[in-house]
Structure 1
Amino acid sequence: MINIPDHDKQLLTLAIPALGALVAEPLYLLADTAVVGHLGTLPLGGLAVASAALLLIYGLCFFLAYGTTATVARFTGAGEPLKASNQAIQSLWLAFFLGIAIAFLGYFAADPLLKLLGADGELLNQARIYLRISMFGAPAMLIMLAGVGYLRGVKDTIRPLWVALGTAFLNLGLELILIYGFDKKIGASAASTVISQWVGASIYLVWIWQSISKYKISLKPKFMVLVKLLRSSSELLIRNLSLTTSFIVATAMAARLGNVDVAAHEVGFQAWFFLAMSMDAIAIAAQALIGNLLGAGHADEARKVGRRAIMWSIGIGVFTGSFLAIFHVPFAEIFSEDTEVVELASFLLLHVAAMAPLSGVAFALDGILIGAGDQRFLAKAMSFSATISIPLMLLSVTFNLGIGWIWGSIWILMLTRSTTLYLRFRSDNWQKLGS
């Protein structure tokens, strides 16, 4: 019988269901792509552009999950469930109000945003339909982020997995009924997702109410607390914005190099994103455990868990990177039949494979420091890394240095990110004890 150390058991107990949820979430987009693809090229193109806009919008809002996880875990570890419950209530209100604002702006600013992403003519019309209908689900999506943050904070990653799987299958079922049963178009696809998001949000609200109803706390929004939450969350927003901007610039520079370059770059990025999901599960587990241990005053234990999280993440990076290195050509052929694209994408996939262990270090340290509530340093470190790598990406077009230079810049982004975060981890400055 294999004897697994306690710290590893704790990490894996949280990470494995978290991995399932991370893999389940893209099923929304996969279902939409598979179903809408049968409506024709224009609806599929419209979905692609609208999805890019949604990924950008919602990607910046992940601070709701991360920030809630860290704070709730710390309060729980400190033995202050009342404060953890209050945090849950105010995080949900913040998610709701932000969701309303995003829905309003996204609906009325759909055209400028979609045009910025390259949509025009009938493609713009299809993307507009999908994006505007999707905006009705924005409050629900953000409530789900806050809800999953709370459950992770109390070390529950099982129920978010069930919600992710259940709503993904509900979304697919509704799409098949509305599009094939009632001959609806791309709008039905977006509506199916919106309904699924509100079902998921409702489930989280019920679960959180069951968890906190034993405490006598106000359910009303406290605007001073919301302002404070928004201010502290802004540091995670800066971190997310810096990372997102770096990859947007990389894609934009690849597009300027030519169609083959941007197509190959997209294959490489999707492979990197897939590997990132597998390693992010360890980071999610680290967030909850580190916050809990520091809240309870166990600095040494928190550091030990942090070290194990880094080692597990590197191990996953080595395993997945090795697999990708062996099968990089067949993997590239899945995405394109163009020999030039396949050849260049195969080369970039070797970059992704070699970078995987380094990426593992960055993701694990991200989770550790988010769990510790060290958001200010994370914002500074990510901004610093982006400030170095983005100008290097711009040089690729200015001097026609090629796609390899862009990916060299991504290497530098991950290297500076990993180095700065590891130096922080080596110090004691991130270990703030108690609630």
Structure 2
Amino acid sequence: MRVGGESRLGRVPATPVPADPAGTRREILRLAVPAFLALVAEPLFLLADSAVVGHLGVAQLAGLGVASSVLLTAAGVFVFLAYGTTSVVARHLGAGSPRDAVAAGLDGLWLSLVLGAAAAVAVAVPAAWWAGRFGAGDAAVEQAATYLRVAALGLPGMLVVLAVTGVLRGLQDTRTPLITSVAGFTGNIALNVLFVYGLGWGIAGSAWGTVLAQTGMAVALVVVVLRAARRLGAPMRPHPYGVLRAAVGGVPLLVRTLALRAATLVTTAVAARYGDDALAAHQVVLTVWSFLAFALDALAIAAQAMTGRSLGAGDVDGARSVAATVARWGVVSGVVTGVVVLAVAPVAGRAFSSDPQVVGAAAGAFVAVAVSQWLSGYVFVVDGVLMGAGDTVWLAVAMVAALVVWAPLVLLLSRSGAALPGGFGHELAGLWVWFGAGFMALRAVGLWWRFRGDGWAVTGARR
């Protein structure tokens, strides 16, 4: 890959976002389509695990739900490695400093290795304790602990993938992560089937398949970035000040992500109160919801890269053009995906479980997800615009405020039983109604208020 020119891996432009609306739309699609396909491949890791493990039994699927919540939290809290790096790298690229762009990205890579090793230890050693925090049955807890002990080994690879993907997105390259994601997903499916069914390793086999696939992806992406750094003469050794700056700059996004993960953990904890069947169904719905979130996030990724590049070049009008376009597209995409979910809601659960109780509980929750998808489309995309602008402190404050208002209310209502509506056939559906109409709505209002103002559009190589 060559920054600012042609390569085997594609073109990485170092020019401002096109000024004309048609050019802006083409540029968004150029980045968003590969990003969409890559993001679809990422949650397919969990979808594949759920499909393979689900047919082992309810306890295994419920255990995977608990373990996945822990792992997604452990990896998800460090998503700033991708989002923050994209903004910083894109701003340097827009300012005409590709060497500084890659150097900043390498600081994030070194940071990801340190954080990944620490996270692996923090998850693997007390795996049984983590598994028991959700109130699931003994059988589900045992399965969750087994999965966690193995899957924690993949956390360093997961975080490296996040960091390097962020570097490439900032360099306006979304095709390389796509190629890597497709290869990783394909390998993950093959390894899952081999280990779980061929070798009879059960839920541990699914965890091993994911670990090996994620680690392979990390190695491949690191090779790509190191080659770019060598060509540009960027320093490849860890620079303490740069790594520290990357860590400090990521704190607001860490806070934002912790608040988001806390919201999903609250929903999992409430679902566990309804029994293992409801918890297993919740795992299915949460997996699909995460899949849809990643799919909608493709527009947000394009917005991050283009907004950061425009503001780095001092082009506020270009940034606003991108923001307005992706906001509209986000709502439309949410409507389309919502219609699809509504159409498959009655039967979607059968792909993950043959238990009629699990399938029935999931069906009602899917309807609730479908109704709120247009709102999710707006939230994910505008969130990406503000990340690309580096407006991370405001994002952190807004996310925490939404959680503080929503979480106590939903926990209180769930304890009263009847207060969570089951209008779609199950209490789990009521929980997802409150998540969409409560938490996501609060986020939408806050993002809309910030988006319509001028405080986020700060120009320069650094915010």
Q: What TM-score, normalized by structure 2, do the two folds share?
A: 0.85
Residue of structure 1 aligned with 2:154, choices 133, 137, 154 = 137
Alignment correspondent of 2:131: 114
Given residue 423 of structure 1, which amino acid in structure 2 is its aligned partner?
A: W
Other structure's SS at 1:213 match: helix
State the alpha-carbon separation in 1 of the partners of residues 196 and 415 from structure 2: 46
For residues 1-80 of structure 1, what are the structure 2 equivalents within 5 Å? 5-36=22-53, 46-80=63-97
Alignment correspondent of 2:218: 201
CA 1:87–1:355 in 2, change beyond 3 Å: closer, same or farther? same
1:419 aligns with 2:445: yes
Alignment correspondent of 2:402: 385
CA 1:348–1:154 in 2, change beyond 3 Å: closer, same or farther? same
Contact 1:268 1:349 in 2 (8 A): yes
Farther-moved stretch of structure 1 (74-83 vs 413-422) = 413-422
Deviation at 1:359, TM superposition (A): 1.4
Deviation at 1:322, TM superposition (A): 2.6
Judging by fraction of residues, say which structure has more helix. 1
Q: How many residues align?
A: 433
Given residue 134 of structure 1, which amino acid in structure 2 is its aligned partner?
A: A
CA 1:120–1:310 in 2, change beyond 3 Å: closer, same or farther? same
Other structure's SS at 1:214 match: helix
Contact 1:389 1:410 in 2 (8 A): no
Alignment correspondent of 1:318: 335
Deviation at 1:222, TM superposition (A): 2.2
State the alpha-carbon separation in 2 of the partners of residues 244 and 174 from structure 1: 28
Q: Unaligned regions of 5+ residues in structure 1, if any?
A: none
State the alpha-carbon separation in 2 of the partners of residues 4 and 341 from structure 1: 47
Contact 1:257 1:402 in 2 (8 A): no
Q: What TM-score, normalized by structure 1, do the two folds share?
A: 0.90
State the alpha-carbon separation in 2 of the partners of residues 328 and 130 from structure 1: 28
Residue of structure 2 aligned with 1:402, choices 396, 420, 431 = 420
For residues 135-174 of structure 1, what are the structure 2 equivalents within 5 Å? 135-174=152-191
CA 1:125–1:331 in 2, change beyond 3 Å: closer, same or farther? closer
1:285 aligns with 2:311: no
State the alpha-carbon separation in 1 of the partners of residues 71 and 243 from structure 2: 24
State the alpha-carbon separation in 2 of the partners of residues 36 and 392 from structure 1: 34
Given residue 320 of structure 1, which amino acid in structure 2 is its aligned partner?
A: T
Given residue 454 of structure 2, which amino acid in structure 1 is its aligned partner?
A: D
Contact 1:294 1:302 in 2 (8 A): yes
Other structure's SS at 2:232 match: coil
Residues 34-57 of structure 1: CA distance to partner in whole angstroms, max 9, x if unpaired? Answer: 444566666555444333321221
Farther-moved stretch of structure 1 (90-99 vs 317-326) = 317-326
1:428 aligns with 2:454: yes
Other structure's SS at 1:5 match: helix
Residues 288-309 of structure 1: CA distance to partner in whole angstroms, max 9, x if unpaired? Answer: 1101111111001100110000
Deviation at 1:59, TM superposition (A): 1.7
State the alpha-carbon separation in 2 of the partners of residues 37 and 340 from structure 1: 14
State the alpha-carbon separation in 2 of the partners of residues 264 and 122 from structure 1: 16
CA 1:418–1:122 in 2, change beyond 3 Å: closer, same or farther? closer
State the alpha-carbon separation in 2 of the partners of residues 378 and 273 from structure 1: 20
Root mean square deviation, CA, Å: 2.8
Farther-moved stretch of structure 1 (287-296 vs 14-23) = 14-23
Given residue 444 of structure 2, which amino acid in structure 1 is its aligned partner?
A: S
State the alpha-carbon separation in 1 of the partners of residues 189 and 435 from structure 2: 38
1:306 aligns with 2:332: no
Given residue 12 of structure 1, which amino acid in structure 2 is its aligned partner?
A: L
Residue of structure 1 aligned with 2:370, choices 349, 353, 356 = 353
State the alpha-carbon separation in 1 of the partners of residues 303 and 130 from structure 2: 36
Contact 1:390 1:409 in 2 (8 A): no
Contact 2:104 2:242 in 1 (8 A): no
CA 1:119–1:323 in 2, change beyond 3 Å: closer, same or farther? closer
Given residue 299 of structure 2, which amino acid in structure 1 is its aligned partner?
A: I
Q: Unaligned regions of 5+ residues in structure 2, if any?
A: 1-19, 423-429
CA 1:81–1:319 in 2, change beyond 3 Å: closer, same or farther? same
Give me the identity figure in percent. 39
Alignment correspondent of 1:225: 242
